[in-house]
């Protein structure tokens, strides 16, 4: 006979028997933990954005834009090389990724100007 009320469910969760309201409580706690995780991730993303802006802020908008453009071009080149390496791996061709050696130093761009190494 159907009484119109929802039946209590019995669930085994991680070796523990959860009944009715306990399932809802566990779901609520999981949702709260997920919301906290998302909040922390968004805060960390915000901190990272502030750090990037601070890193490239040269005081002069033109210099800042040029520094950002240089980094974007470096990033695009790295992605192109990675795509090539993946293509080579797909066809079974040998390839190697070689990191800079101990004698590597930044290139000089102009009189006394030194490009900082990528972090």
**Mean pLDDT throughout 68-95?**
89
- Which pTM was predicted? 0.44
| E strand spans, 52-91 | none
Residue 107, pLDDT above cutoff 90: no
CA distance 81 to 95: 11
**Mean pLDDT throughout 75-92?**
91
Sign for the pseudo-dihedral over CA of 58, 65, 115, 85: positive
Query: Which pLDDT value is given to residue 80?
Result: 94
């Amino acid at each position: 006979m159907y009484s119109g009320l929802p039946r209590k469910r019995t669930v085994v969760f991680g070796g523990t028997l959860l009944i009715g309201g306990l399932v809802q409580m566990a779901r609520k706690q999981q949702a709260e933990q997920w919301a906290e995780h998302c909040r922390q991730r968004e805060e960390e993303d915000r901190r990272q954005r502030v750090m990037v802006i601070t890193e490239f802020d040269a005081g002069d908008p033109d210099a800042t834009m040029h520094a950002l453009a240089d980094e974007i071009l470096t990033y695009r080149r790295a992605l192109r090389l990675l795509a090539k390496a993946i293509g080579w791996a797909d066809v079974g061709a040998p390839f190697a990724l070689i990191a800079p050696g101990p004698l590597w130093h930044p290139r000089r761009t102009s009189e006394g100007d030194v490009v900082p190494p990528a972090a």
